[in-house]
Chain A
Amino acid sequence: MTSSQVVKTLIVDDDVSTRRIYRMMLFRFGFEITEVGDGKSAVDQFLTGNEYDLVLMDKDMPIMDGVEATRTLRGMGIPAKIIAITTDANSRGAFFDAGADEFLLKPVNFTALADILKAFNFLN
């Protein structure tokens, strides 16, 4: 599976080993990847004019959590697909209310992520 377009992706997670795993998963698809470690840095990426097609958003992070970051991005009119990825199953409703497009529980399964990316038409 590959992407026919360059999918610009922002990985938002405060754990560096988790970010490395997502990077490897998405690298396989040919995505272009940027990483940040908290929700405020994610918002700042868009505020400084960067554009992304896809955001992988953790929930519990310092400074600004993932639900708040998602809500802020939607408030800014950011149309990027946002996949919430967290160990907190109870946060599903909060993420969708904030404007997330999909929700996955950690640990992320490569196939489950690929299925979502196909549904988003990011993969052939």
Chain B
Amino acid sequence: MDVSMLQRTYTDLLTSLFREGILNQQFIELQQLQDENNPGFVNEVVSLFFEDAGRLITELISNFNQQAVDYKKVDAYVHQLKGSSASIGAEKIRSVCQTFREYYDKNDIQGCYNCIQPLKQEFMTFKSKLEALFALEQQIVAAGGSIPMMRH
């Protein structure tokens, strides 16, 4: 695939991520912090998020599988995940975390429980799509092209 085709595929994928609500404006903020001195900044930050969020979600699911669920601990995990997803622009993950916390504040345990599977699903979707995006970036750079920037 030539560079311009790769760049078009990249732009289409990125646009769809915003259109589907998977990413929000904060992701553009991160892209704007990236420059020639730190070309892998966004990839690095998102990879850190993958690691940390993956761990938090595993802990969440493990907690819900206990006989006596420690909801305070679960809420702390979700709060942390909400903050980190907001920082990188992972809108759908942030939104599910927000919903969970609203149920938690109302002591709606079933509501909390019903958020866990969607949270896991949104994380898997986010991870898979961002990995595809970064793979395209690598192909574009390897082919001598530049990464197209999303406009505000």
* A contacts, CB < 8 Å to B: 14-18, 20-21, 24-25, 28, 58, 60, 86-87, 106-110
Q: CA A27 – CA B92 in complex, angstroms?
A: 29
Min Cβ gap A51→B in Å is: 27
Q: CB distance B86 to A17 under 8 Å? A: no
Q: CA A10 – CA B95 in complex, angstroms?
A: 30
Q: Given A60-B76, A107-B89, does the pair A21, B30 have CB atoms closer than 8 Å? A: yes
| Residues in chain A near residue B79, CB distance under 8 A | 60, 87
- Asked if B32 is at the interface of the complex by the 8 Å CB criterion, the answer is yes
Please classify the interface of chain B as helix (H, G, I), strand (E, B), loop, or mixed, using the class held by over half of its residues: helix
- Asked if B102 is at the interface of the complex by the 8 Å CB criterion, the answer is no
22 A-B pairs with CB atoms under 8 Å apart are A14-B80, A15-B87, A16-B48, A17-B48, A18-B84, A20-B44, A20-B48, A21-B87, A21-B88, A24-B33, A24-B38, A28-B33, A60-B76, A60-B79, A60-B83, A87-B83, A87-B86, A106-B83, A107-B26, A107-B89, A108-B87, A110-B33
6 shortest A-B CB distances, which residue pairs? A17-B48, A107-B26, A17-B49, A18-B87, A15-B84, A107-B86
Q: CA A124 – CA B97 in complex, angstroms?
A: 39
Min Cβ gap B118→A in Å is: 19
Q: CA A25 – CA B33 in complex, angstroms?
A: 7
Min Cβ gap B24→A in Å is: 9
Q: CA A110 – CA B89 in complex, angstroms?
A: 14
Q: CA A103 – CA B30 in complex, angstroms?
A: 21
| Residues in chain A near residue B30, CB distance under 8 A | 21
* Residues 70-90 of B at the A interface (beta carbon under 8 Å): 76, 79-80, 82-84, 86-89
A17-B84, A21-B30, A24-B38 are known contacts; what are 17 more A-B pairs with Cβ within 8 Å? A15-B52, A15-B83, A16-B48, A17-B88, A18-B83, A18-B87, A20-B44, A21-B45, A24-B33, A58-B83, A60-B80, A87-B79, A87-B82, A107-B29, A107-B86, A107-B88, A110-B33
| Residues in chain A near residue B84, CB distance under 8 A | 15, 17-18
